[in-house]
Amino acid sequence: MLYNHVMSKERIEELRRLLKEASYQYYVLDNPSMLDSEYDMLFRELEVLEEQHPEYDDPSSPTKRVGYEVVSAFEKVTHEKPMLSLGDVFDYEELRQWSKKITDQYPDIEYSAEYKIDGLAMSLIYQDGYLQRAVTRGDGIVGEDVTSNVKTIRSIPLSIPYKQRYEIRGEVYMPKSAFIKVNKERIARGEEEFANPRNAAAGSIRQLDSRIAASRGLDGFWYHVPDDVNASDHLSSLSYAKQLGFKVNPNNRLCHSIDEVIDFIEDTAAKRNELPYEIDGIVIKVNSYSLQKALGFTSRIPKWAIAYKFRAEEARTVVKDIFITVGRTGKCTPNAHFEPVKVAGSTISYAILHNEDFIKEKDVRIGDTIIVHKAGDIIPEVVRVLKENRTGKEIPYVFPDTCPDCGGKIYRLQGEAAHYCVNSDCPAKVITGISHFASRDAMNIDGLGEKKVEAFYKAGILTSFEDIYKLHNRHDEILSLEKFGEKSYQNLIDAIENSKKNSLEKLLFGLGIRQVGEKAAKILAKRFKTMDNLINASVKDLSDIKDIGEITAIGIVDFFKSESNRNMIDILKLFGVNMEYIDTASNRITPFMDKTVVLTGALTIYTRDEATAILENLGAHVSTSVSKKTDYVIYGEKAGSKLKKANELGIATLTEEEFRNML
């Protein structure tokens, strides 16, 4: 649709309002009001309109969040009011003593008790309704301006309905799910894992390229407004902050005694491991601002607040062995195998020891008694060695100079802590590489998981990506393997045949090019369209692309320089593996092209996600609400108000069976 200037301005404003509301519902209230595909479509439309009309620029537009700024260093900023730390207590007796000092002066005290988020302390400063600055705590007096990175956090409002200066402080954190995802991506690129979500959040916020911060899934909770003129107590201040659009943790409790505070701590400790983010304690504050002012501060901490710190759940066990695992990049990672022990709700018996330097620093030996915990309540970690328990029979670990899987030499690369096996034929590298190639997010060959790949490798029938497409010739050998029958064989062959039709980005991700994850693979496929175009791209061609850095560009060029890699691509071509990008929504004439479709009722032929994916592949826009702009409503059993509204508006309706027949 073509817009004139007035219409464009109105549409830009409408899109910004819709996208801001959707982000608020999703990221702050955890109540999605719009499908991801619908959000993406509106977002792309806004990007195009803003590019066409720079005169309507708005620093609070949702498009400002995507991460575009690269800085050479972070500017130092002096806090207007110091960001003081809190005093800590570790048991209930210390907590009661702190409370008694207050109640001796002021008997009738109400406390606010809230989760202590384990993240990175941050101050947000708004002026004239817009986010002006985001500053780290630093040393409490001077922090760093990280505004460009904080703007990528979708739960943080870029503008608020409050025109005076407004400062709010809180914690930027990485949810546990994002932490696991980021570490998987780092492992896939051959990089060191983050030790815990707090370190991951801090490292992400201090990235000089805001695109990296944008990709890390950060979030934040906001819990303190210095000198708040809009409230008389702490909880009222948080309530007002929530009205302004800030994400405030709902797990706050007003307590009328220290015993109620302790009850809250007990309740929290019981469900701590189930939370989607990491907490390391409970913060207790005197609720009244007038009493906070009367109590005042020591030289470094407020007298009216304290942090009750959870002790990390630890367990004692004994190291049975230290062994090396080899990943698909050849990275050799040492691991401790210890006597099984229960920590934070699950039994663990292994922990990563990271690298040779870590083992030397901790002085971990086979036979040692060790203390373990879960870093971030997720990853098993060796905390320390109980050297006083040594008997003299413990065996110091000597890092091997040969690969445990292939016997080839392993090397520690200059400037890196990790060792690598450089043998391209190393069984561990081959097995994990093929498993990655066949994985769901890559070529999606169902029935070719790591255990099957290992069995095929040991049987000598699968040693490369190309061998996958020869498995139809190994019928008898495959059926001779344990737990493999005619049906599972045929299902595997069908899945392999289907994988040939994948779009180029699936193949690129599956090849395991260093630094090329799913997102980068999709960007490359869209940009270059064919494998041949990508093979002939220069470092400059690649690094000029947004989201493809120079290191990634060099890695891609080096990969395709390899004669063996080029030969492998040629063989895959001969087997009929698709080498082109498939834009599923373009160049197709379908009844649903550019139509707005609403799904309602209980679908029985397809799941809601399957139906949505089918429609989007046919060029449709799937919406959640019926309006005059809706073209079709597809309905299942027990359809209600949406179907009724469609009939009232004269919108075309299809039963699920009719929809399938159209397909």
Write the secondary structure of 329-391 as one string of H (helix), E (strand) and C (coil): CCEEEEEEEEEEEEECCEEEEEEECCCHHHHHHHCCEECCEEEEEEECCCEEEEEEECHHHCC
Q: What is the pLDDT of residue 363?
A: 95
Residue whose structure tokens are 């691509």:
569
Helix (H) or strand (E) holding 567: helix 563-574
Helix (H) or strand (E) holding 660: helix 656-662
Q: What is the pLDDT of residue 208?
A: 79
DSSP 489-550: HHHHHHHHHHHTT--HHHHHHHTT-TT--HHHHHHHHHHH-BHHHHHT--HHHHHTSTT--H
Angle, alpha carbons 590-593-596 (nearest 5°): 130
Q: Which residues of the chain have pLDDT under 70?
A: 1-6, 26-31, 36-37, 65-73, 190, 299, 312, 344-345, 375-378, 584-589
Catalytically annotated residue among 20, 101, 116, 331: 116
| Tokens representing residue 503 in the block | 């779009």
Residue 146 to residue 268: CA distance in whole angstroms? 32
- What are the strands, taking DSSP E only, across 11-75? none
Cut 0.85: pTM above it: no
Residue 156 to residue 337: CA distance in whole angstroms? 43
Q: What is the pLDDT of residue 28?
A: 67
Q: What is the pLDDT of residue 13?
A: 84
Q: What is the pLDDT of residue 384?
A: 92
Catalytic residue list contains 116 = yes
Write out pLDDT tens, residues 2-13.
555 567 788 888
Ramachandran quadrant class, 198 (left: phi over 0; alpha: psi -120 to 50; beta: rest): alpha
3-state class (DSSP) for residue 122: strand
Is there a contact between 464 and 568 (Cβ–Cβ < 8 Å)? yes
| Tokens representing residue 640 in the block | 């209600």
Q: What is the pLDDT of residue 551?
A: 83
Q: What is the DSSP letter of 110?
A: -
Report the relative pairing of strands 305-309 and 279-286 from DSSP bridges.
antiparallel
Residue 254 to residue 473: CA distance in whole angstroms? 70
- What are the strands, taking DSSP E only, across 32-165? 76-78, 88-89, 111-117, 120-127, 130-136, 142-144
Is there a contact between 530 and 579 (Cβ–Cβ < 8 Å)? yes
Q: What is the pLDDT of residue 618?
A: 78
Euclidean distance between the first and the last CA atom of the chain, given in angstroms as a whole number: 27
Which of 168, 96, 181, 92 has its CA nearest to residue 132?
Answer: 168
Burial letters 489-514, b for 16+ CB under 10 A, else e: beebeebbeebeebbbbbbbbbbbbb
From residue 511, how far is each of 181, 298, 565, 594, 643 by CA, in Å? 20, 59, 9, 34, 46
Give the CA dihedral 313, 317, 321, 325, nearest 10 degrees: -10
Which of 656, 658, 661 has its CA nearest to residue 610?
Answer: 656
Q: What is the pLDDT of residue 484?
A: 79
Q: What is the pLDDT of residue 224?
A: 95
Number of H helices, E strands in the chain: 25, 24
Ramachandran quadrant class, 644 (left: phi over 0; alpha: psi -120 to 50; beta: rest): alpha
Which of 591, 576, 425 has its CA nearest to residue 498?
Answer: 576
In sequence order, which residues have a C-beta less than 8 Å from that of residue 600 and are 6 or more positions away? 633, 634, 635, 636, 639, 640, 642, 643
The torsion angles phi and psi of 7, rounded to 5 degrees, stand at: -65, -40
Q: What is the pLDDT of residue 212?
A: 85
Q: What is the pLDDT of residue 588?
A: 55
Write the secondary structure of 374-417 as one string of H (helix), E (strand) and C (coil): EECCCEEEEEEECHHHCCCCCEECCCCCECCCCCCEEEECCCCC
Q: What is the pLDDT of residue 345?
A: 63
